[in-house]
């Protein structure tokens, strides 16, 4: 099973195995979180499992990541986080001190985000049945008034906005795990994005069509998901893609494409053209969106496909990765 | 006076490439000569005639239709039947009738055959240069023996009104020639003259011009070292003075093409012979109607700028295919660089607006014209190896001429090819049409060019595919395109498709050994292959031998940087021997010293930790590694650059004894262990051997390994035919020693001739496999 890297195989696992097994219609749009209406109130529910290796990395640890990832999934659906539930699967022999530390860090991240960790669960499994610590986080949020975004709602003409530089989380993790020499220099961008998202909803409202946090599979996967779910094409400019110099250098050394590298602290949004400038200004006024940029445009051409104007002057298809990276060059 | 009783009447359908090649005029003259009454016409993709005449003449007719056909016609089949209506009456004479459009039924069970473009003929060239001729210096001279065909065709049958020439009304003089059976332009569909035909146009910052002035402006630009965008037959080209180092360097910089050799156009074979040593076979190819770029042995010294073809002893030379090319060459009296009007790996521009946008920053002026290019056909590239012509890029002048399939396709099929050097193939029954070359599918323009020309070719040829064949690689955009089609799918392994392309060309229907050496292709075990020997037929295969594996540090990054590939072998080559590892690293000190320390360290770590290091059993990657270890190429700016450099050094040295090598067995496969070879090469270098001798020895080693594997397999499996294919088989030194070695071992080596051994031939191989598999199992 090579389905873990957030690429085409992950999408296939979801589309061909998981959704059908749950009786979902085959064309169901896979969102980051689900909207559930309870007694007239629009609630948003999400759950995520975190299996990051290593547990501690520059810029964060599994506790912070678990909170941020879940808060962000709620935020991408336009929800203010209300409460989180935390479940641990712990390998026998895992140091108590480390457990305390990751939990404290989850608590701190929740406090920063203004969300309560309301409940939790722990299970200990035998040595080798798990690798250290796995965390599953469930999040409940209340959908903000006027939030209507969905991965399937991008429209031709929309501006593609990105809240900040890409590639830091994935490279920080890889560097820390494999000691590749740049681990001291690149820190993860992990953080909560719900305040940024709320500001955008307040400013954009109905003009805010789609929003995603480009986590596993990177910006390429997030854009491809939106293009597919909305049956639109997306054109971006390579020149506009913000890649920190250290990330670019590390990617070059490792033969990775920054567009495929995971992020935990930025979002991409499809916004109606006439609201784009105002939304961008709103984003830049927040700490999380200070470096926001306009990446490109949603188009009617090549539905389902993301294409990039390259620095060399051509147009390149931006595809999602197929499992582990298999070169297509002959 | 004849008696009516001695007369015979027939309807004859002529199948094959019979339109756009002067076939109706030929039948007309033949009918007259034989004293027949009746008519001939284009009907769908066929030529149909009904004729009545003396029994003896009518008996001779079918054979004459085949034997005396015009030079560019390919008569596939002559079907004789009863006239549909009343037999032509005695004494009514023989005539050319208006075409019967798009009568698909008349094409029977074959794909309609679209005539490829034909290079300017001698008669037209004489007129072009004759001051007293009314077409003197007219850039669109053509006749029934030459001129545009596939590039201007909308629809069959091939008649002026179904080409982009329909917007030019013939003047009286042209109309007379067109209607005169004695004229060589009798039914020349793109007939034109300065009074009625297309005109040259010039666009540049300094202002626009037309006709002769346009040509003058272009020539002034070229004389001054400028870069010209020229609207050619099958697309825009970029042109500059091949003797002007600064101009060629500028073109390289603007095109982002630092080193890949440029093709050079010269007026005639004499001029060609001054730049290169030519064999008669090469001259014949160069002067053939297809006018391909021919890869030949470059002469040392000479007037060409060194930037034209750095790092190789080969040179791509070709002769003008069209009058405007001829005029440019003759007027400027110097060789010209002529290259595709595109950025690297993108399709050639054909639309005027698109060319303006895409080439605006590359060219200093545009020499265009007002005839529309309907279909994109880049220049073809051919070379002679082991005494046989073989096509490296099959485009203008060759495509879309059909090829045969050993097993007819029971259902119409489409084969979508690979990812780079992309082509597709459509096939029905025994006929396969390989489409034009579209470049790297990762380029959006290439993807669009692929789908556009696929639709167009299917429509014109009358194909409605029901089956689609594709590669196993899920990341190829061609595979993704295929899997989205509502058709029956046939997945064909990359290297099986390669060797099948060779077998199918040669009509092999039984078992054969397939040697597939290329860069990378996805194997049926999910790993990357590229140095494979298969026991195969057109339906299926079994892998019987492979190269040892090595990691690709950084995946595609290792392909672009052979130095990394060398590190991959040094740090992580598959362990196949017993005993201790030979001290490769110590011997490779020059490489390790040359590379940035941080890179060496990171790559070492990547290999040991398996970070983005897919392993491949690739012959092409081994060539890259050896080129880097020899200090010949750390980077590759185009596909195969390192291997080309290695081959060039080997060729310059000549024959050499093989380096050490070892065959072993893993999981039932014979495996070539490159470790002793690398060790031997590095030791020889350390001991002062020159790079040429080591490069030559390496080639000799791979030939020896391959001959040994094939000899053993041939004995065991009882088959003597060996099909050699894959991109590495573009290496002449290797192919020639392989062919000689296999033949000396009593085997029958076959190489690709009509489709490329590189990935440009994959779609044809996929089609051959899908057709063979489709035969009721
Ligand atoms: Fe290949
Ligand atoms: Mg998530
Ligand atoms: Zn002619
Ligand atoms: Zn005329």
What residues pair up with B17 in beta bridges, in sequence order? B74
What are the Cα distances from residue A265, in Å, to A11, A321, B572? 22, 21, 36
For B357, nearest residue in chain A (alpha carbons): A313
Q: Is residue B109 pLDDT above 80, yes or no?
A: no
Whether A126 and A168 map to the same domain: the answer is: no
Please tell me whether residues A129 and A197 are part of one structural domain: no
Q: Do residue A197 and residue A302 come from a single domain? A: yes
pLDDT at residue A2, as a whole number: 46
- The band of A11, judged by pLDDT with boundaries at 50, 70 and 90, is low
In chain B, residues with a C-beta closer than 8 Å to the C-beta of A317 are 441-444, 447, 477
Region of poorest pLDDT, from A65-74, A312-321, B246-255, B311-320: A312-321
Same domain (yes/no): A55, A200:
no
All residues at 6 or more sequence positions from B99 whose CB lies less than 8 Å from its CB, including other chains:
B41, B42, B43, B157, B159
The pLDDT of residue A328 is 79
Please tell me the number of the ligand nearest to residue B185's CA. 3
pLDDT digits (tens, 9 = 90+) for B520-550: 999 999 999 999 999 999 999 999 999 999 9
A63: domain range? 33-143
Q: Are A128 and A174 found together in one domain?
A: no
Average pLDDT of the segment spanning B433-444: 93
Residue finishing a domain among A143, A173, A198: A143
- CATH at A81: 3.30.1330.10
Query: What is the per-residue pLDDT for B578?
Result: 86
Average the pLDDT over B165-174 and give the result: 97
Number of domains in chain A: 2
Cβ A34 vs Cβ A55: under 8 Å: no
Catalytic status, residue B612: no
What is d(CA B85, CA B83) in angstroms, rounded to the nearest whole number? Answer: 6
| A114 at B interface, C-beta within 8 A | no
Assess if residue A215 is contained within a domain: yes
Whether residue B757 has a cis bond before it, omega within 30° of 0: no
Mean pLDDT for A301-326 is 88
Whole-number pLDDT of residue A9:
62
Does one domain contain both A233 and A122?
no
Quick: pLDDT tens for A150-190: 999 999 999 999 999 999 999 999 999 998 888 788 999 99
pLDDT tens digits, one per residue of A256-296? 999 999 999 999 999 999 999 999 999 999 999 999 999 99
- Say whether A253 and B598 touch across the interface (CB within 8 A): yes
How far does the centroid of ligand 4 lie from the alpha carbon of residue B169, in Å? 8
Same domain, A181 and A274: yes
Please name which ligand lies nearest the alpha carbon of B173.
4
Closest Cα in chain A, distance from residue B206 (Å): 25
Average pLDDT over residues A41-64: 94
Using 50, 70 and 90 to split pLDDT, how confident is the model at B106? very low
Say whether both A176 and A289 belong to one domain: yes
Count CA atoms within 13 Å of residue B565 on its CB side. 34
Tell whether the model's pLDDT for residue B102 goes beyond 60: no
Residues 6+ apart with CB under 8 A from B486: none
Quick one: which H or E segment has residue A268? strand A268-271
Residue B116 pLDDT > 70:
yes
Residue A153 falls inside a structural domain:
no
Does residue A166 lie in a domain region? yes
pLDDT tier, A26 (very low <50, low <70, confident <90, very high otherwise):
low
Give yes or no for residue B461 having a pLDDT over 70: yes
Question: Which residues share a beta bridge with B541?
Answer: B536
Residue A12, in any domain of the structure: no
In a domain, A24, yes or no: no
Contact B23, B14 (CB under 8 A): yes
Do A314 and A169 share a structural domain? yes
Average pLDDT over residues B187-206: 94
* Closest A-chain CA to B621: A330
Residues A231 and A298 in one domain: yes
Which residue ranges form the domains of chain B, and what is each CATH number? 4-107 (3.30.70.100), 200-381 (3.90.870.30), 517-537+543-760 (3.30.420.40)
Asked whether residue A132 falls in the same domain as residue A164, the answer is no
Is B24 catalytic? The answer is yes
Residue A211 lies in a domain: yes
**What mean pLDDT comes out for the span B742-749?**
98
pLDDT tens digit sequence for B352-385: 999 999 899 999 999 999 999 999 999 999 999 9
| Strands (DSSP E) found in B233-283 | 236-241, 263-265, 276-277
State the average pLDDT over residues A45-66: 95
Per-residue pLDDT at B567: 98
Domain boundary at A143, A178, A198, which?
A143
Confidence of residue B451 (pLDDT cuts 50, 70, 90): very high
Query: What is the least distance, in Å, from the CA of A183 to any CA of chain B?
Result: 12
Domain end residue (candidates: A108, A143, A178): A143
Q: Which ligand is nearest to the CA of B169?
A: 4
Please indicate whether, in this complex, the C-beta atoms of B612 and A255 are within 8 angstroms of each other. yes
- Mean pLDDT across the stretch B600-617? 95
Q: What pLDDT is attached to residue B67?
A: 94
Q: Is residue A248 part of a domain?
A: yes
Closest CA to A213 of A147, A163, A178, A168: A163
Residues of chain A with pLDDT > 70, as a percent, come to 94
How many angstroms away from the CA of B639 is the closest CA of chain A? 8
The answer to whether residue A323 sits within a structural domain is no
> pLDDT tens-digit profile of B5-36?
588 999 999 998 898 888 999 999 999 999 99
Q: Supply the ipTM of this predicted assembly.
A: 0.91
What average pLDDT does the segment B336-342 reach?
Answer: 95
Smallest CA-to-CA distance from B548 within B627, B472, B622 is with B622
We report the CATH number of the domain holding residue A290 as 3.90.650.10
What is the pLDDT averaged over residues A92-114? 96
Residue B1 confidence (pLDDT)? 44
- What single DSSP character describes residue B399? T
Tell me, yes or no, whether A133 and A173 share the same domain.
no
Asked if residue A234 has pLDDT above 90, the reply is yes
- Residues 6 or more apart whose CB falls under 8 angstroms from that of B744 comprise none
Q: What is the pLDDT of residues B752-769, one digit of tens each?
A: 999 999 999 999 999 999
Is the separation of the CB atoms in A88 and A94 below 8 Å? no
3-state class (DSSP) for residue B121: coil
* CB within 8 Å: B519 and A328: no
* Residue numbers in A near B519 (CB within 8 A): 329-330
Judged by CB atoms closer than 8 Å, whether chains meet at B443 and A315 is answered as yes
């Amino acid at each position: 099973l090579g389905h873990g890297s957030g690429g085409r195989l992950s999408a296939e696992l979801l589309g061909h195995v998981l959704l059908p097994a749950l009786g979902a219609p085959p064309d169901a749009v896979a969102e980051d979180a689900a909207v559930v209406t309870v007694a007239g109130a629009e609630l948003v529910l999400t759950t995520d499992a975190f299996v990051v290796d290593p547990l501690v990395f520059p810029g964060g640890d599994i506790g912070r990541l678990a909170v941020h990832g879940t808060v962000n999934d709620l935020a991408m659906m336009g929800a203010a986080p209300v409460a989180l539930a935390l479940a641990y699967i712990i390998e026998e022999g895992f140091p108590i001190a480390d457990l305390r530390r990751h939990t404290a860090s989850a608590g701190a991240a929740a406090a920063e985000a203004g969300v309560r960790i309301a409940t939790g669960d722990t299970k200990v499994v035998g040595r080798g049945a798990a690798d250290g610590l796995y965390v599953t986080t469930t999040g409940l949020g209340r959908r903000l008034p006027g939030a209507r975004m969905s991965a399937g709602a991008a429209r031709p003409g929309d501006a593609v906005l990105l809240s900040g530089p890409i590639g830091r989380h994935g490279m920080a993790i890889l560097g820390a795990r494999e000691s590749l020499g740049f681990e001291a220099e690149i820190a993860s961008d992990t953080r909560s994005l719900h305040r940024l998202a709320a500001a955008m909803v307040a400013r954009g409202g109905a003009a805010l069509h789609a929003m995603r946090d480009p986590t596993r599979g990177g910006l390429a996967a997030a854009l491809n998901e939106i293009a597919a779910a909305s049956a639109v094409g997306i054109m971006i400019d390579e020149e506009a893609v913000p890649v920190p110099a250290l990330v670019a250098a590390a990617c070059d050394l490792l033969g990775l494409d920054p567009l495929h590298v995971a992020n935990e602290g930025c979002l991409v949004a499809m916004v109606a053209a006439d609201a784009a400038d105002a939304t961008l200004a709103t984003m830049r006024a927040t700490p999380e969106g200070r470096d926001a940029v306009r990446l490109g445009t949603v188009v009617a051409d090549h539905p389902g496909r993301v294409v990039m104007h390259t620095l060399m002057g051509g147009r390149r298809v931006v595809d999602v990765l197929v499992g582990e990276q298999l070169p297509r060059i002959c | 006076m004849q008696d009516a009783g001695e007369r015979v009447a027939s309807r004859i359908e002529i199948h094959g490439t019979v339109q756009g090649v002067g076939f109706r005029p030929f039948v007309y003259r033949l009918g007259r000569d034989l004293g027949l009454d009746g008519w001939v016409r284009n009907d769908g993709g066929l030529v149909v005639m009904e004729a009545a005449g003396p029994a003896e003449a009518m008996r001779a007719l079918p054979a004459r239709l085949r034997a005396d056909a015009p030079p560019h016609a390919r008569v596939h089949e002559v079907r004789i039947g009863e006239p549909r209506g009343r037999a032509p009456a005695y004494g009514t004479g023989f005539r050319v009738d208006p075409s019967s459009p798009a009568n698909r039924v008349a094409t029977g069970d074959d794909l309609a055959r679209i005539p490829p473009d034909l290079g300017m003929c001698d008669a037209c060239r004489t007129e072009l240069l004759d001051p007293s001729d009314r077409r003197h210096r007219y850039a669109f001279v053509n006749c029934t023996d030459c001129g545009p065909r596939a590039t201007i065709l909308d629809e069959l049958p091939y008649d002026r009104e179904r080409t982009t020439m329909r917007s030019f009304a013939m003047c009286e003089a042209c109309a007379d020639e067109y209607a005169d059976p004695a004229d060589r332009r009798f039914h020349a569909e793109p007939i034109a003259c300065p009074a009625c035909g297309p005109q040259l146009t010039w666009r540049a910052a300094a202002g626009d011009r037309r006709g002769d002035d346009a040509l003058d402006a272009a020539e002034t630009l070229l004389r001054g070292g400028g870069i010209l965008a020229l609207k050619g037959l099958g697309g825009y080209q970029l042109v500059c003075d091949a003797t002007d180092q600064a101009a060629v360097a500028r073109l390289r910089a603007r095109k982002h093409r630092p080193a890949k050799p440029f093709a050079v156009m010269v007026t005639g074979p004499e001029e060609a012979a001054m730049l290169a040593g030519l064999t008669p076979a090469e001259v014949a190819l160069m002067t053939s109607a297809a006018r391909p770029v021919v890869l030949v042995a470059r002469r040392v010294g000479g007037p060409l700028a060194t930037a034209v073809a750095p790092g190789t002893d080969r040179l791509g030379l070709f002769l003008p295919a069209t009058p405007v090319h001829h005029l440019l060459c003759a007027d400027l009296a110097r060789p010209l660089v002529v290259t595709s009007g595109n950025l690297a790996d993108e399709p050639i521009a054909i639309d005027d607006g698109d060319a303006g946008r895409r080439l605006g920053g590359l060219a200093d002026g545009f020499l265009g014209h007002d005839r529309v290019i309907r279909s994109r056909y880049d220049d073809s590239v051919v070379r002679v190896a082991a005494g046989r012509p073989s096509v490296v890029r099959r485009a203008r002048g060759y495509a879309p001429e059909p090829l045969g399939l050993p097993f007819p396709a029971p259902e119409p099929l489409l084969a979508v090819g690979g990812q780079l050097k992309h082509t597709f193939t459509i096939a029905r029954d025994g006929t396969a049409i390989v489409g034009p070359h579209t470049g790297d599918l990762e380029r959006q323009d290439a993807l669009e060019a692929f789908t556009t020309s696929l639709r167009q070719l299917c429509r014109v040829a009358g194909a409605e595919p029901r089956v689609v064949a594709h590669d196993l690689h899920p990341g190829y955009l061609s595979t993704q395109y295929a899997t989205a089609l509502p058709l029956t799918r046939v997945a064909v392994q990359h290297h099986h498709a390669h060797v099948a392309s060779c077998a199918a060309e040669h009509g092999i229907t039984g078992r054969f050994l397939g040697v597939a050496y290329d860069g990378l292709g996805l194997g049926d075990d999910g790993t990357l292959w590229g140095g494979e020997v298969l026991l195969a037929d057109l339906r299926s295969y079994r892998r019987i031998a492979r190269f040892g594996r090595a990691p690709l540090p950084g995946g595609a990054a290792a392909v672009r940087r052979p130095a990394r590939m060398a590190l991959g072998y040094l740090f992580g080559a598959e362990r196949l021997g017993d005993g201790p590892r030979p001290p490769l690293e110590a011997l490779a000190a020059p490489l390790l010293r040359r590379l940035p320390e941080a890179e060496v360290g990171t790559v070492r770590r990547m290999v040991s930790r398996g970070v983005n290091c897919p392993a491949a059993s690739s012959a092409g990657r081994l060539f890259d590694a050896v080129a880097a270890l020899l200090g010949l190429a750390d980077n590759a700016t185009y596909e195969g650059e390192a291997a080309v450099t290695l081959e060039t050094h080997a060729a310059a040295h000549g024959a050499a004894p093989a380096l050490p090598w070892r065959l072993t067995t893993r999981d039932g496969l014979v495996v070539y262990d490159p470790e002793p070879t690398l060790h031997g090469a590095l030791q020889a270098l350390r001991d002062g051997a020159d790079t040429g001798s080591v490069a030559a020895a390496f080639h000799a080693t791979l030939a020896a390994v391959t001959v040994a594997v094939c000899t053993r397999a041939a004995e065991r499996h009882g088959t003597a035919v060996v099909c050699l294919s894959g991109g590495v088989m573009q290496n002449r030194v290797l192919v020639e020693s392989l062919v000689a070695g296999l033949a000396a071992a009593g085997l029958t080596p076959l190489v690709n001739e009509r489709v490329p051994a590189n990935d440009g031939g994959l779609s044809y191989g996929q089609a051959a496999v899908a057709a063979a598999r489709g035969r009721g199992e």
